[in-house]
Structure formats: structure tokens, C-alpha cells
């Protein structure tokens, strides 16, 4: 039974060993940059909208 339980752990470890942390960090930085750009765009559009809302 011990051997069976070790197999998934080993394959999981192999899976994680293939992950490059630097690559993940770069991808996250790109995503964050996109979010910042989108927020800036949204802010610009909100400023352009006339305030004609009423309750």
C-alpha cells in the first residue's frame, strides 16, 4: 500500500519541478500591467461621461 501512495506524490513533485517561478512572475506582471491600463481607460471614460444621473 505504501508504494501506491508514493506514486501520486512523485508525479505531483515532477509536475511542480517543471514549473518555472520566473515565468509565472513574468506572466503575473503582464496581467497586472493590463489591469492597470484597463483601470486607467475606465477612469478616463468615467471622466468623459456627463453627470446626468438622478435618483
Q: pLDDT tens, 10-55? A: 677 777 777 788 999 999 999 999 999 999 999 888 888 776 666 5
Cα–Cα distances in Å, from 41 out to 14, 31, 36? Answer: 42, 15, 9
The reported pLDDT for the residue numbered 19 is: 78
The reported pLDDT for the residue numbered 25 is: 95
The reported pLDDT for the residue numbered 41 is: 92
pLDDT above 60 for 4:
no
The reported pLDDT for the residue numbered 14 is: 73
Amino acid at each position: 500500500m505504501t508504494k501506491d501512495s508514493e506514486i501520486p506524490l512523485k508525479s505531483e513533485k515532477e509536475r511542480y519541478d517543471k514549473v518555472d517561478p520566473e515565468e509565472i512572475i513574468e506572466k503575473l506582471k503582464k496581467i497586472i500591467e493590463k489591469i492597470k491600463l484597463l483601470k486607467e481607460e475606465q477612469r478616463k471614460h468615467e471622466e468623459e461621461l456627463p453627470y446626468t444621473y438622478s435618483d
